[in-house]
Every structure is written in C-alpha cells, then in structure tokens.
C-alpha cells in the first residue's frame, strides 16, 4: 500500500491541522487521541511516511526504528503511567480496523484496561 500524504496524521505532522501535543522529538510526535477510549489515550507516530508497522519495519532505518520505539517509552514515563501500568497497541490493516494509514501506536492508561482482545475469538 502506497503512503497517502493526505492522511490526517500527515496533515498533523505538517502542522496543517492542530493536535493536543504531549511530546515531540526528531523521530516521533505524540498527541492525545481525539476520541479517547481510556482516561489516558495518546497516539505516538513516527515522523517518516510509513503506512503501518509492517511498512515501518521493512522500510525504516535502524535510527528511525530505535528513535520511535524509544519515544514510546519516553512518552509513557512523561505521562507518569509506568506504574501502575499501561498498554500499547498498533492496528495493522483491515482485520485490526486500522483507520488512519500512518503508523501509530495507541498508548492507553489511567484505569484497569481489562482483557487484551475481545473474548470468543478462538
Ligand atoms: P486506528 O483505528 O488504529 O487507525 O486508530 C485511529 C485513531 O486516530 C482513532 O482512535 C481516532 O480517534 C484517532 N484520530 C483520528 N483523527 C484524529 C485527530 N485529528 N487527532 C487525534 N486523533 C485522531
């Protein structure tokens, strides 16, 4: 899948639409989800044009991958959610209901987050 530079997160990265920013560095931008599903719900995105984690892990350079993963941990510490814990999640493709075609890691925290996936899948 080719990267669509008109996707909403590309527009946020270019500053064309606003976001509620919580963190930014050379490799990543983190901002609050517009429709939060937990008391804390932040999205961490790489600055480069990657459709998904699959695209990122095949195309991105080592520095980008290291910088992005490090940023996810840094954001969690900055938010103060390491204790009692948080969850990260990345949707890739239609079965996972990925809506925005720019890699993003959801960071959920602030309450007991329940089970990982809905019951009854297997
Ligand atoms: P996903 O289903 O993993 O692609 O999730 C996309 C997420 O992006 C959803 O949780 C949306 O609420 C969120 N979202 C969409 N547009 C915006 C926006 N302009 N600012 C912040 N979050 C957004």
Query: Exposed/middle/buried for 76, CB within 10 Å: 0-12, 13-18, 19+?
Result: buried
- DSSP assigned state of 120: T
- DSSP assigned state of 14: T
Instruction: Catalogue all structural domains in the chain, each as residue range(s) with its CATH number.
Output: 8-109 (3.30.428.10)
Amino acid 115: pLDDT: 85
CA–CA distance from 60 to each of 50, 99, 108 (Å)?
8, 21, 25
> Is the predicted pLDDT of residue 1 greater than 90, yes or no?
no
Cβ 8 under 6 angstroms from ligand 1 = yes
Name the residue of 33, 54, 91 whose CB sits within 8 Å of the most ligand 1 atoms, as the mutation to test its pocket.
33
Amino acid 95: pLDDT: 94
Name residue 86's beta-bridge partners.
Answer: 109
Amino acid 117: pLDDT: 82
> Is the predicted pLDDT of residue 118 greater than 80, yes or no?
no
- Tens-place pLDDT, residues 39-60: 999 999 999 999 999 999 999 9
Catalytic residue among 41, 97, 102, 104: 104
CA of 104 to the centre of ligand 1 (A): 9
């Amino acid at each position: 899948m080719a990267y669509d530079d008109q996707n909403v997160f590309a527009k946020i990265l270019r500053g064309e639409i606003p976001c509620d920013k919580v963190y930014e560095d050379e490799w990543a931008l983190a901002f609050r989800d517009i429709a939060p599903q937990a008391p804390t719900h932040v999205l961490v995105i790489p600055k480069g044009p990657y459709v998904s984690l699959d695209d990122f892990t095949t195309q991105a350079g080592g520095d980008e991958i290291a910088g992005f993963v490090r940023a996810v941990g840094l954001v969690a510490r900055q938010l103060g959610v390491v204790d009692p814990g948080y969850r990260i999640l990345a949707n890739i493709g239609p079965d996972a209901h990925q809506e925005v075609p720019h890699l993003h890691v959801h960071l959920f925290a602030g309450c007991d987050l329940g089970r990982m996936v809905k019951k009854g899948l297997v």
